[in-house]
A and B are shown apart, each in its own frame.
Chain A
Amino acid sequence: MVDVIVFAVAGLIVLAGGLGVVLNSNPVRSALSLVASFFGVAVLFVLQEAHFLALVQIVVYAGAIVVLFLFVIMLLGVDEVEDLSIEPLSGQRIGGLLAGAALLVFLLGGLFLSGGDEGAVAVTGTESVTQPIDETQPNIDNLATDLFGRNVLAFEATALLLTIATVGAVVLVRNAGAEDLSVDEPGRADH
């Protein structure tokens, strides 16, 4: 019973946050609505006993990513209130609504039609196809075993990826040192 109540409340927060993102005309409010929505999702994760995922949801999404959004919004000017009555692309809203409705229909259809007699079971994944998590160990320990055991190569490869990102970011924003090079610029002959 508590589960259902928590689910309902968290679900309402997620929905209200989502609507707030779309309907607010002030981008800062939209971004903050997104935070609310992320918090609701985090609560849903806790409900599923995925505590680590809930933590990551708050730290990474609600923390880092939305702060990044806010940075960009503030850089572009926080006072700008978009006039939502103008459609930059005509027919954009109708198209968006139709696409959203189609997605909903497909999702619900997939949920209830696939899997034959079992109905929704096939998609909602009540039966886990992977190994059950070792219940005697805390989540974090399981995660560590997985991350530094089975997936250690992927973990290390991520380090390489971050190195590339750092090198790339540094060289791309570096001052070019001269004017734009036009084609056929006379050069030295010592090539």
Chain B
Amino acid sequence: MIALVAQDTQTVALPGPPVVWSLLWPFLILAVGGVLLVTVTSVVPVLRGRSFPAAFTCLTALASGLSLIPVWQRVDRLDLVGGTIGSGTEGPRSLVSGAYAVDGFTVFVTGVICVSVFLTALLLDGYLRREGLDGPEWYVLMLMSASGGVLLASANDLIVSFLGLEILSIAAYVMAALHLRRAESQEAGFKYFVLGALASAFFLYGIALVYGATGSTTLQGIFAAGPNAAGLDPRTDSSLILAGMALLLVGFAFKVSAVPFHFWAPDVYQGAPSPVVAFMASGVKVAGFAGLARIFLYAFQPYWADWRPAIAALAVLSTIVGGLLALAQRNVKRMLAYSSINHAGFMLLAIHAAASPDDGGQRGAEALLFYLLAYTVMVTGTFGVATIVGGRGDGRHDLDDYRGLSRSNPLLAGVMAILLFSQAGVPFTSGFFAKFRVIGALASDGSYALGGAAMLAAVISAVLYLRIVVSMFLIDNGEAHEADHEAVDAVAGGRAAPEAEGDTLVEASPEASVLTSVRAPAPTALLAVCLAAAVTLVLGLLPDLGGGILSDAASALLLAG
């Protein structure tokens, strides 16, 4: 018996797979940063304040972003590391036994997610101070969610994709419900959770069917089992893989809120805390698109003719329906939710173009990546302004609440105008080139009908952004507006008179408190929105800045094709 036990302990030694740690850093910094933050702040109560977690999160995002530089320099010269199914010359370079892939595409997307985390952390700092909330959990959950997004974008195995998606989403559900004193926030979190869990179930079922059809969960394995590979695999049951792809597409469409799987988005965006919405609309969505693009453009590339019409239908519906329904809203956060559905349609159009086997493919992939970056910056900035205007209680999101913003805070109004013009696609902003690239890719692919639909949708959605801009800048004689001005004057008077305490005045009038938050927003939040507007302008004026990076990253996505 003793001999048996001894023998067993000897045989337990299990060689782990080779791991290339240096390429895992961008992911590890985010994940370990989150775990470290929750540990340190639990053990050292002094650090549980508001400044430390925010600074820590910004630095973590920055460190993760900087660690991408050496990875980027190595990406092109990487040999296949670790054992993977499939040949070693195509597809992403994989590590940790083929579960995690690193190439230009994942490096780019990781960078975009880091940008989103950085900006959102700045917004959260101002938000938490204003709402009188504290707790590092917001930042912890955001860092972990971001690491899940990186995992989803870098996954080379559907199991890892699913885990990445769940890490990304579950943290986001909790963040949506994290304003414990607001019932709307709880409701949003619950809705997001129930519908998101349903989408995850679809996704998982899709993985199971794809595994059943191809006998592999790795992207290379699925690709190799496809009809394009040398020698048709007789065991590939095409109806199984079609069903699997459809279910995976449904799962992703929920996550990126494409019509007709968008119903959760306006409700959740309206109820969830505004900075969290900024992250959900940017980081979470970007990761969803990255996973969608990676899985469909690489693993399902052999079946592109099958799934492409479905993507086109989702895209056209999203652009048109998103734009039209946004026009019917009066709540700015709902409007922006529908506008992000509209943007999701554009990004799906880019994926549609990227699936093209000829020249449109490369242009489509470039358009997708540029769109992801431009969209992340401008949507984070826009929801940042919404956070500031929302005021204490985070409830002032009606269109009327934006009236006269150009008078009460010209800088904020100017920033918002830049961001909204960019979302509308006005020239000299990043949004213009994002839309231009998508439509250009569609044209070079020959999909003129889709390009026309995209332009129509862009015009429809431009009206919605103009509505907000108009209400910020135009002054009319509405009654609500008059009330605002009285309050503005009251606050201004309070500020001007040295003997009048600003605090007492604010306590006295809720109206004034909101306006104060607009007049003097938290410096960090203001920094975030100004940064977002600056990047939007720079990308709009110098759209070819780092163009080599874009084309390299895009071609990495299409290596299989």
With A184-B510, A186-B510, A189-B506 as known contacts, state yes or no: A130 contacts B170, CB within 8 Å.
no
Decide: A151 and B16 in contact? CB cutoff 8 A.
Answer: no
Residue of A nearest to B505 (CB): A189
Shortest Cβ distance from residue A168 to the other chain B in the assembled complex, whole angstroms: 4
Query: Cβ of B173: which chain A residues have Cβ within 8 Å of it?
Result: 168
Decide: B215 and A144 in contact? CB cutoff 8 A.
Answer: no
Pull 7 A–B residue pairs with CB atoms less than 8 Å apart, ordered by A. Answer: A144-B14, A151-B97, A154-B160, A167-B141, A171-B135, A171-B178, A191-B522
Residue of B nearest to A173 (CB): B180
Residue A178, interface by CB 8 Å? yes
With A167-B174, A168-B141 as known contacts, state yes or no: A149 contacts B237, CB within 8 Å.
no
Residue of B nearest to A163 (CB): B35
With A171-B178, A180-B183 as known contacts, state yes or no: A151 contacts B215, CB within 8 Å.
no
Query: Cβ of A122: which chain B residues have Cβ within 8 Å of it?
Result: 237
Interface size, chain B (Cβ < 8 Å): 75
Residue B349, interface by CB 8 Å? no
Decide: A184 and B144 in contact? CB cutoff 8 A.
Answer: no
Query: Cβ of A188: which chain B residues have Cβ within 8 Å of it?
Result: 132, 503, 506
Residue A77, interface by CB 8 Å? no
Residue B167, interface by CB 8 Å? yes
| Interface core residue of A125, A148, A153, A160 (most chain B CB under 10 Å) | A153
Decide: A181 and B182 in contact? CB cutoff 8 A.
Answer: yes
Decide: B178 and A172 in contact? CB cutoff 8 A.
Answer: yes
With A114-B239, A148-B16, A183-B393 as known contacts, state yes or no: A157 contacts B167, CB within 8 Å.
yes
Q: Which range holds the interface residue count of chain A?
A: 35 or more
Distance of A20 Cα from B513 Cα, bound (Å): 61
Instruction: Indicate with 1 or 0, residue by residue over B509-525, a CB within 8 angstroms of chain A CB atoms.
Output: 11101101100111000
Decide: A164 and B151 in contact? CB cutoff 8 A.
Answer: no
Decide: A164 and B174 in contact? CB cutoff 8 A.
Answer: yes
Which listed residue, A145, A154, A171, A187, touches B99 by the CB 8 Å rule?
A: A154
Distance of A12 Cα from B68 Cα, bound (Å): 58
Query: Cβ of A161: which chain B residues have Cβ within 8 Å of it?
Result: 163, 166-167, 170
Decide: A153 and B160 in contact? CB cutoff 8 A.
Answer: yes
Distance of A15 Cα from B356 Cα, bound (Å): 50
Query: Cβ of B453: which chain A residues have Cβ within 8 Å of it?
Result: none
Shortest Cβ distance from residue A127 to the other chain B in the assembled complex, whole angstroms: 8
Instruction: Indicate with 1 or 0, residue by residue over B370-402, a CB within 8 angstroms of chain A CB atoms.
Output: 000000000000000000000111111000000
Residue of B nearest to A145 (CB): B14
Decide: A184 and B503 in contact? CB cutoff 8 A.
Answer: no
Decide: A187 and B16 in contact? CB cutoff 8 A.
Answer: no
Within 481-518 of B, Cβ neighbours of A (below 8 Å) are at 502-503, 506-511, 513-514, 516-517
Within 111-161 of B, Cβ neighbours of A (below 8 Å) are at 126, 129-132, 135, 137, 140-141, 144-145, 147-148, 151, 157, 159-160
Query: Cβ of B140: which chain A residues have Cβ within 8 Å of it?
Result: 167
Query: Cβ of A150: which chain B residues have Cβ within 8 Å of it?
Result: 17, 97-99
Distance of A177 Cα from B503 Cα, bound (Å): 23
Instruction: Indicate with 1 or 0, residue by residue over B29-60, a CB within 8 angstroms of chain A CB atoms.
Output: 00100110010000000000000000000000
Query: Cβ of B132: which chain A residues have Cβ within 8 Å of it?
Result: 187-188
Instruction: Indicate with 1 or 0, residue by residue over A138-154, a CB within 8 angstroms of chain B CB atoms.
Output: 00010011001111111
Decide: B392 and A184 in contact? CB cutoff 8 A.
Answer: yes
Residue of A nearest to B134 (CB): A177
Distance of A177 Cα from B133 Cα, bound (Å): 10
Query: Cβ of A180: which chain B residues have Cβ within 8 Å of it?
Result: 181-183
Distance of A177 Cα from B11 Cα, bound (Å): 54
Residue of B nearest to A185 (CB): B393
Shortest Cβ distance from residue B460 to the other chain A in the assembled complex, whole angstroms: 31
Query: Cβ of B177: which chain A residues have Cβ within 8 Å of it?
Result: 172
Distance of A154 Cα from B156 Cα, bound (Å): 11
Residue of B nearest to A171 (CB): B137
- When A and B form their complex, which 6 residue pairs have the shortest distance between CB atoms, in order from nearest? A183-B395, A129-B215, A168-B174, A176-B180, A181-B181, A153-B99
Decide: A153 and B170 in contact? CB cutoff 8 A.
Answer: no
| Interface core residue of B11, B163, B189 (most chain A CB under 10 Å) | B163
Which listed residue, B97, B393, B513, touches A149 by the CB 8 Å rule?
A: B97
